[in-house]
């Protein structure tokens, strides 16, 4: 019997609070982010967690730690991998998003944020994130689920959007509609290929400037 997959986005980082494109930059959680991460853990107290995965970035690592603390889960195996890191925003990293919206114009800004293959100078597209995140999921996470283990992944908005696209078999042209909210946890049951059979969303109330 397949295990249950839970995916969660890190909560508010210092750069999220400032409205800056964080991407590959390491930014710690805010006090609010720590608090909400613990609430996210409490939200899934009823589900056994056998192992967890996170990106190599501190905001995801801190969120995972707080979630496990919030649900009073100790001593489970945790693996960290850059394949689950956030999209690299290249030359846009550190720039204020809302100022960039004025510079780029609404159409280009939305393309950069949401589209499947919209280039960023010196950075990655969602398609490129998909090409590193999904193989890691298939090769390293899916075998644990096939063993019947319940797995928690804590990652970033675009890496998790990439996983959603694969898991739910969403056409690439519909990528702009795919979202992973702050404070949200998606709970999936999957088939042997890692595609969704059932989906449940749990959410803590969150207000993040991102």
> Of 10, 11, 25, 156, which one is the catalytic site residue?
10
pTM assigned to the model: 0.96
In a 13 Å sphere around the CA of 188, the CA atoms on its Cβ side amount to: 24
| pLDDT, mean of each 10-residue run, the chain (210 residues) | 97 96 97 96 96 98 95 91 98 96 95 96 98 98 98 98 98 96 96 98 90
Per-residue pLDDT, 210 = 77
Q: Which CATH number fits domain 4-203: 3.30.450.40, 2.30.30.90, 3.40.50.1240, 3.60.40.10?
A: 3.40.50.1240
Catalytic residue check, 10: yes
CA distances, 208 to each of 19, 119, 153 (Å): 9, 25, 21
- pLDDT of 75 reads 87
Active-site entry in 11, 25, 62, 86: 86
State residue 209's pLDDT score: 82
Does 86 qualify as catalytic in the annotation?
yes
The radius of gyration computed from the CA coordinates of the chain, to the nearest angstrom, equals 16
């Amino acid at each position: 019997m397949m295990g249950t997959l839970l995916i969660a986005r890190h909560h508010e980082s210092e750069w999220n609070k400032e409205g800056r494109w964080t991407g590959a930059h390491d930014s710690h959680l805010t006090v609010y982010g720590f608090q909400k991460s613990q609430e996210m853990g409490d939200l899934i107290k009823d589900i056994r967690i056998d192992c967890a995965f996170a990106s190599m970035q501190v905001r995801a690592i801190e969120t995972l730690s707080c979630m496990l603390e919030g649900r009073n889960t100790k001593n489970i195996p945790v693996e960290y991998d850059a394949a689950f890191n956030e999209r690299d925003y290249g030359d846009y990293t550190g720039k204020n998003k809302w100022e960039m919206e004025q510079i780029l114009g609404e159409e280009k800004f939305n393309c950069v944020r949401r589209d499947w293959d919209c280039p960023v100078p010196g950075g990655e597209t969602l398609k490129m994130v998909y090409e590193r995140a999904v193989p890691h999921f298939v090769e390293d996470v899916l075998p644990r689920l096939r063993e019947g283990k319940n797995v928690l992944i804590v990652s970033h908005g675009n890496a998790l959007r990439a996983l959603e696209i694969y898991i739910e078999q969403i056409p690439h042209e519909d990528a702009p509609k795919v979202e992973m909210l702050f404070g949200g946890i998606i709970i999936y049951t999957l088939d042997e290929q890692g595609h969704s059979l059932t989906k449940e969303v749990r959410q803590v109330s969150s207000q993040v400037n991102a």
